[in-house]
Chain A
Amino acid sequence: MTATIKANLPVFVVIAPLFVAFVLPTFARRIRLVESLVIAVGVLGLLGTGYLASLILIEKGIPIIYSMGGWSAPWGIELRVDSLGAFFLLVVAGVSLPVALFGVDNLTHEVGGSAQTTRFYVLYLLLSGALAGMAVTSDLFNVFVLVEVATLSCCGLVSARNHPRAAEAAFNYLILATLGSALILGGIGFLYIITGHLNMGLASQELGRVWRDYPHVVWMAASFLLVGFGVKAALFPLHVWLPDAHSTAPSPASAILSGLGVKGYMICFTKVLYNVFGTTLMREFAMHRILVLLGMIAIIAGSILALAQDELKRRLAFSTVAQVGYVFLGLGFANASGLTGTLFHMASHAVIKSGLFLAVGAIITTTGKHRISEMAGIGKKMPITMAVFTIGSLGLAGIPLFSGFIGKWYLLSGSLEAGGSLAAVVIIAGSVLCAAYLFPMIRIAYFEPAPVEDWQDPGVPQRIALVLLAAGVVILGVLPGPFLELAKGAALELLGSM
């Protein structure tokens, strides 16, 4: 029995959330049961992904390949748990569990009654399943399907909030994201036309043979995929949907959208870029330069736009735009340190940004204040929430001993290896700007006189969720060992498939 479960873990981590999601609507009345099912799936997912990651670590990165229905690569769909897959699975499971825990007993005021809460969890599990699928799939068409599942659940999650602005934001997001999906499908179509394969490894081999005959098709495919995934992952200047969507969604939804949602598309883009095009083609078509340029612009522009916001959630949302820039920047370096940095930064940003969004959500729910200038005294009234917010801010700014530091350190050495001193300056400037837009909130919250109000930290599940995420930030910063090893393994894997 256990042997069967172990052998089929790669598929279980993907289908378990999906199938539980489909059953949830039948228990809509019994909200306790719904919540416990969601938490149970989260815990089992974390155990399963932890086991897979430890296997990969022990086997020194030898991938676990799972063929759906027993049909191997050219005919069937292949799931591939390699270092990259295990790393991202761990991020997905590790972040989605605390975020789900935060929603327990806490969603009704944001989304409405128990039917709406169930609907929220259905979309939440669909998104988690799709993200887990993105981590392990190595089939181009599967990538598109999972991207669609994730996009539609994200739109649903944004519109789940009981507020007219949420519906508007979700609609804008839907339009732009559908455009992105169409472009991704187009890009995959171009690749399929010239290679005849949907499996990434086989498509890559074939592309290596034929790209000289079809340089324009390769260009088209690359640009379609870049713009498509760029819209989805909110790469500046394609980020326009993100601030509205992420700031109007219910807090757990903002957390998972900013923390994991955009990361899933980045992982897909990373896979397509490195596992299909490979570094040779990237250099041949100067894709890496474009990525570095776009990344730098995104870091600076996102940070400056974040500085200009006074609304808490909008500032965090623009900060996501800046952090997305780091990821694309690292993808453009195309060397081991840069990729390690990018992957580690993805993980640390996932943990940090969900923690920040949840903390801010707790603040907004308790105090009803959503502007930074009104945060006075929250540090004294809500110590746990504000401590988590502070840890997250320190992490995001890249202070040593917090998780953001390690990712940025590797990105910095990656930029120097790639000979981009301007990129190095931008990385440091981004950190400084990040401190500039996050630290004033901490100052106002702790050092301005507190109003006489009866504010308190949120309930027990919410506190546990916040503390778990803050602990994640510190653990990733102090003892990054296995995570860093997985990230390094993934970077080497991505570079090896040229």
Chain B
Amino acid sequence: MRDFVLKRVAALLLPFIQMYGLYVIFHGHVSPGGSFAGGIVVGLAFIAFATIYGLERGRAKVPEKATTLVESYGTLWYGLMGMIGIFKGAPFLANKLAGIDLGELGALSSGGLISLIGLGVGIRVASTMVALFFTMMEDES
């Protein structure tokens, strides 16, 4: 695609779209949205980049190996965060029971492990979106 306007606008907007996605991921416990929705926004930024700048350049940004790694370890990250509870002698996925400081209600730092768990879910959703997109596009061509 050779559309100058589209490329410039995308170049201006995509960083902010990604920041917004990360914002939604980390604010999952205090505002609407959450890690799944935020992960989709982050993934869509990569997909938009690949559709506007071409598949090859998109692939260069996120190689297949990267999506595989993020997908695998994003989920493992969730598991590790769940295991913190077990290491502290509380059940799996325990938060306050595991002795995590829950902070002040409504503050960003108030969810304990939730935003960290959300990070795992978010990056996994993002990389799955990207992987699905590239799988379908590369099958076609």
- Identify the closest chain B residue to A24 (Cβ): B72
Do A25 and B68 have beta carbons less than 8 Å apart?
A: yes
Do A22 and B75 have beta carbons less than 8 Å apart?
A: yes
A22 to B73, CA, bound (A): 7
- Identify the closest chain B residue to A28 (Cβ): B68
The answer to the question of A67 belonging to the interface, with a C-beta cut-off of 8 Å to chain B, is yes
Do B91 and A26 have beta carbons less than 8 Å apart?
A: no
The answer to the question of A4 belonging to the interface, with a C-beta cut-off of 8 Å to chain B, is yes
Residue of B71, B76, B95 touching A69 (CB-CB under 8 A): B95
The answer to the question of B69 belonging to the interface, with a C-beta cut-off of 8 Å to chain A, is yes
What number of B residues sit within 8 Å (CB to CB) of A?
A: 21
Give the residues from 1 to 19 in chain A that come closer than 8 angstroms, CB to CB, to chain B: 4, 8, 11, 15, 19
B84 to chain A, nearest CB (A): 11
Chain A residues with CB under 8 A of B89:
4
Contact bitstring A16-58, B, C-beta under 8 A = 1, else 0: 0001001111101000000000000000000000000000000
Chain B residues with CB under 8 A of A26:
68-69, 72-73
Given contacts A4-B86, A69-B85, A70-B85, contact A22 B71 (CB under 8 A): yes
- Identify the closest chain B residue to A5 (Cβ): B86
Chain B residues with CB under 8 A of A67:
91
A193 to B3, CA, bound (A): 52
Do B72 and A68 have beta carbons less than 8 Å apart?
A: no
Do B69 and A68 have beta carbons less than 8 Å apart?
A: no
A66 to B69, CA, bound (A): 32
A14 to chain B, nearest CB (A): 9
Do B92 and A68 have beta carbons less than 8 Å apart?
A: yes
- Identify the closest chain B residue to A27 (Cβ): B72
Chain A residues with CB under 8 A of B82:
15
Chain B residues with CB under 8 A of A22:
71-72, 75-76, 79
- Identify the closest chain A residue to B124 (Cβ): A22
**Which label, helix, strand, loop or mixed, suits the secondary structure of the B interface?**
helix
Chain A residues with CB under 8 A of B75:
19, 22
Contact bitstring B85-122, A, C-beta under 8 A = 1, else 0: 11101111111110000000000000000000000000
- Identify the closest chain A residue to B87 (Cβ): A4
B131 to chain A, nearest CB (A): 11
Do A69 and B68 have beta carbons less than 8 Å apart?
A: no
Residue of B71, B92, B93, B97 touching A25 (CB-CB under 8 A): B71
B136 to chain A, nearest CB (A): 16
Give the residues from 44 to 81 in chain B that come closer than 8 angstroms, CB to CB, to chain A: 68-69, 71-73, 75-76, 79
Contact bitstring A58-97, B, C-beta under 8 A = 1, else 0: 0000000011111000000000000000000000000000
Do B97 and A69 have beta carbons less than 8 Å apart?
A: yes
Residue of B76, B79, B93 touching A68 (CB-CB under 8 A): B93
Do B76 and A11 have beta carbons less than 8 Å apart?
A: no
A72 to B96, CA, bound (A): 14
A435 to B38, CA, bound (A): 58
Residue of B76, B85, B87, B96 touching A23 (CB-CB under 8 A): B76
A65 to B71, CA, bound (A): 31
**CB-based closest 5 A-B pairs:** A22-B75, A69-B93, A70-B97, A11-B92, A19-B79
B interface residues (Cβ-Cβ under 8 A, vs A)? 68-69, 71-73, 75-76, 79, 82, 85-87, 89-97
Chosen A-B contacts, 14 in total, with CB atoms closer than 8 Å, are A8-B86, A8-B92, A11-B91, A19-B79, A22-B75, A23-B72, A23-B73, A25-B71, A26-B72, A66-B91, A66-B92, A69-B91, A69-B93, A70-B85
